[in-house]
Amino acid sequence: MKDDKNALYNNKILQCLISGEIYTMLQLADNVGLSEKTVRTRIKQLDEWLEAEEIGKIEKRQGKGIWLEIGDRQKKILEGRLEQREDPAGDLDNRNKQLMGKLLKMKPKDVATLQQLADSLYLSPPTVSNLLKNISGWFEERNIRIKAVRNKGICLEGKEYSFRIAIKDYMLEMLPEVMEALFGTYAPGVDAARIRRIIVEAENAWRIELADNSFKMVWIMTCLSVARKSLAHELLSGNMQEEDIQRYNEYSFAESIYQRIGREYQVDLSEDDTILLAMLLLSAKKLKSFTDINHEDYAMQYDRNLKDFVKLVIETIDSVLDTDLSEDRLLYEGLLIHMRSAIFRMKYSTVTGDSISKYVKSEYKQTFLAAWSTSSLFEEYYDVQVTEDELAGIALYIQAAMIRRKKGKPLTALLISQRGMAACQLSVEMIKYSIPEITDIQVVSRHDFKLSLYPETDIIINGAGLDLEDARMVTVEDRISEKEIDVIRRKAVQVSRLRNRPDFRFSSLCHQLFEVDLILVRPQVRDKDQLITMMVKRLEEKGDVTPNYLKSVFDRERATTTSIGRGIAIPHGNMMMEVNESRIVVAILDKPVKWHEDMVDTVFLLAVKMTSKFEIKRTKQFYKDFLLLTEDDDNMEAMKHMESALEVYQYFIK
């Protein structure tokens, strides 16, 4: 309030003097509403400011009064300052902002003289020269240089992406209270409200909600993309590693926004626009520090940092489980791909689908708790709160690694018995002698047995008549005879066969395509149309496809069958326009349904994109792995006999 009053009184004094009349100190004091003593102090301050600005001079003569000596040009400058209602003798920060705003309006390679800038701001050239020194550091931080052009004036030098980042920072940080009004200045001719609606549509389709600052950043950058479309050819340097950024959901989300804008405006926006926006989304928690997209190639550096983070997560879990998974390349690659999308979901997702954490916590308690130990790392490195579902996803990768680590080792067993120690020891020796592959047998009484204490045991020999359901359980008489030995041997053969079965797995490159709640095991459906609708709705609920995808799938089905034989179908729709994030929904039916002329019991609904090098590479790898799965009867039978979505998911990513 004090600054506002200063500006008000100083403006009143100058408005009196600029009229050209001569005033006594008493007359000025009466007009302004201040004491004579205060007016004398202000007259002195204003005189010093006018001289410093080279605008004019306040003259005083005993017996005559006070008047303003000023030329016509200087008078115009002063009138402009008074119209702005600022304190003429203060507010250096505001003048800096005004000059920055004027410079950012200049087109690349435009040259402005000091006089032109001074006239536009109602300042003197010397003042503008001093202000340029004040603001040069701000521009240099954003890789823009204020350059003097001999005998012409000044211009700004820098890459187009630096100008866009500078405009974004100016609107967001310098003048946030009038940000929306500045769209007309820096994105002239662009309907900013229309662009805003498009971004909200993309958010809704993806089922995410950008933080306020991130939303404004996206809004500004997309409007600049349309307004400065003619400059996009020089937006980024040619050495950008596109595939490094295309691996991230931030890229796919940015791409979906620009596709919508392109359709709405009937324009082709460059790939560089998408990459730049994706980079800014990746650094959304650190927007103020992001200035140079090409510094050591930002995408590669971000990916290197994520790789280090994944190694740290594995090290942390290793220490909790007292194991060593550091050499498991499949675990590292699988977690790396998982993290690229998981961090995006933690930042923005609003989806609250079916939780998988309750299954994982029940089945793999120790592994889940080990994954939980990494929670603080996510907060420290990415400023996100990790959810139980995301931790459950990490736990599944860890569990798959533990299973791989166990392969090739001798079998372990647990004998549950009600007999005495001597009788139990005899039973143990008989089993080990008759079944050499079982090398380690623990004994526990019925009273002391708890299933949760033996998550890693291969075979549980139930001689105590317990009523338990567990795939590892084999029930025998408590007194071990040749008959019981034969039953245990058959179980050992079954476990060994499953353990040593030639591995089928989807490449880690494809893991991100699958999710537990996108796998339907024996869904109750009447026909093909009901099944397709159910599968597509799962994708739509998660924001992976637009509401139009279902129609495009049915359009495809009407055009030609998607059954490929052997009871398998691969329906899909318009993957170019209606897919947000690449996903695959799997359905394994209890009874086959009619699919045109065929009967189908296994369905892979494809919603994959081919819009970037990375997406093309991943889709090709999926088809390659898909052939290995579907051409092998053992692989298909193994998948079809699985009891839960969790089992199928683990089968795919193991």
SS (H, E, C) 199-233: HHHHHHHHCECCCHHHHHHHHHHHHHHHHCHHHHH
Chain-centroid distance of CA 185 in Å reads: 30
Distance between CA atoms of residues 231 and 228, nearest Å: 6
User: Is 456 strand, coil or helix?
Assistant: coil
CATH architecture of 300-406: Orthogonal Bundle (1.10)
Looking at residue 199, what is its pLDDT?
94
In this predicted model, what pLDDT tens digit does every residue of 505-543 receive, in sequence order?
888 889 989 998 899 999 999 999 999 999 999 999 888
**pLDDT reported for residue 286:** 44
What pLDDT sits at residue 288? 44
DSSP characters over 337-351: HHHHHHHHHHHHB--
**Using one digit for the tens of pLDDT, what is the confidence trace for 146-188?**
998 888 889 999 888 889 999 999 999 888 888 998 999 999 9
pLDDT given at position 287: 39
Quick check: do 2-83 and 92-158 share a fold?
yes
**Percentage helix, strand, coil for the chain under 3-state DSSP, each rounded to 5:** 60, 10, 30
- The beta strands (E) that lie in 344-437 are given as 411-417
pLDDT of residue 295: 47
- 208 token code pair: 């995410």
Nearest to 190 by CA among 261, 272, 255, 278: 261
**What is the greatest pairwise CA distance in the chain?**
132
- DSSP bridge partners of 594: 599
> Cβ distance 375 to 391 under 8 Å?
yes
Distance in angstroms (rounded) separating the CA atoms of residues 60 and 349? 69
Cβ neighbours around 243 below 10 Å, total:
16
Distance CA 338, CA 310 (A): 10
What are the domain boundaries of the chain?
Answer: 2-83, 92-158, 176-295, 300-406, 411-500, 508-653
Q: Can you read off the two tokens belonging to residue 67?
A: 């008047």
For tokens 């996100």, name the residue: 384
92-158, what's its fold? Arc Repressor Mutant, subunit A (1.10.10)
Q: Residue 586 in 3-state DSSP?
A: strand
Full DSSP string of 473-531: EEE--SS--HHHHHHHHHHHHHHHHHHHSPP----GGGGGG--GGGEEES---SSHHHH
- Residue 382, SS3 per DSSP: helix
3-state secondary structure 556-583: HHHHCCCEEECCEECCECCCCCCECCCE
Burial of 321 (0-12, 13-18, 19+ CB in 10 A): middle
Q: Which of 46, 94, 93, 100 is nearest to 69 (CA)?
A: 46
Q: Is the alpha carbon torsion for 267, 272, 276, 278 positive or negative?
A: positive
Q: Tell me the residue type at 207.
A: R
Residue 622, both tokens: 């999926």
Start-to-end CA span in the chain (Å): 67
CB atoms within 10 A of CB 626: 18
Residue 98 tokens, joined:
């005004």
Distance CA 235, CA 231 (A): 7
If one counts every other C-beta atom within 10 angstroms of the C-beta of residue 192, the result is 19
Cα within 13 Å of Cα(58), Cβ side: 24
Angle at 595 between CA 591 and CA 597, to 5 degrees: 115
Residue 352's nearest CA partner among 582, 543, 586, 523 is 543
Q: Would you state the CATH architecture of domain 411-500? A: 3-Layer(aba) Sandwich (3.40)
Q: Give 558-592 pLDDT, tens digit per residue.
A: 877 888 888 889 898 887 778 888 999 999 999 99
Residue type, 647: E
pLDDT-flagged residues of the chain (< 70): 1-6, 52, 83-92, 234, 237-241, 284-298, 351-355, 407-408, 499-503
> In 373-463, which residue ranges form alpha helices assigned H by DSSP?
375-382, 388-406, 421-434
CATH 3.40.50.2000 fits 508-653, yes or no: no
Integer Cα distance of 115 and 120 in angstroms: 9
Tell me, which fold does domain 2-83 have in CATH? Answer: Arc Repressor Mutant, subunit A (1.10.10)
Helices (H) and strands (E) in the chain, counts: 27, 13
Distance CA(546)–CA(47), nearest Å, equals 66
Q: Which residues pair with 603 in a beta bridge?
A: 569, 587
Residues 156, 160, 163: CA angle, nearest 5 degrees: 55
